[in-house]
Amino acid sequence: ADVSGFTACMERFASHGPAGIEKFWTIINGYFNELLSYIRGTGGDVECFAGDALMVVYDAKGIARRQVSRQLQL
């Protein structure tokens, strides 16, 4: 996952001084918190963060087992 337009967005918020920067990071942190919650909830693991991007891995066997379990529950 990568935040498209991250630098341009940060520059726009930064033009409003420290309050703008604080607001930007509040938004970004909220975004990543929601994203991480979703990733963990679906069985993913964050492999690494790199600036405004992150790499996520999923266990294919675990995903297949969960899909079969869901189908059996239907």
Rounded Cα–Cα distance for residues 1 and 19 (Å): 27
Neighbours of 13 (CB within 10 A): 18
DSSP, collapsed to helix, strand or coil, labels residue 8 as helix
Q: Calculate the average pLDDT of the chain.
A: 86
**Which pLDDT belongs to residue 73?**
64
Query: Model pTM?
Result: 0.69
pLDDT band for 70, please (50, 70, 90 cuts). Answer: low
pLDDT band for 1, please (50, 70, 90 cuts). Answer: confident
DSSP, collapsed to helix, strand or coil, labels residue 50 as strand
pLDDT band for 69, please (50, 70, 90 cuts). Answer: low
DSSP, collapsed to helix, strand or coil, labels residue 5 as coil
Can you give the residue ranges of every domain in the chain? 6-71
Rounded Cα–Cα distance for residues 39 and 46 (Å): 8
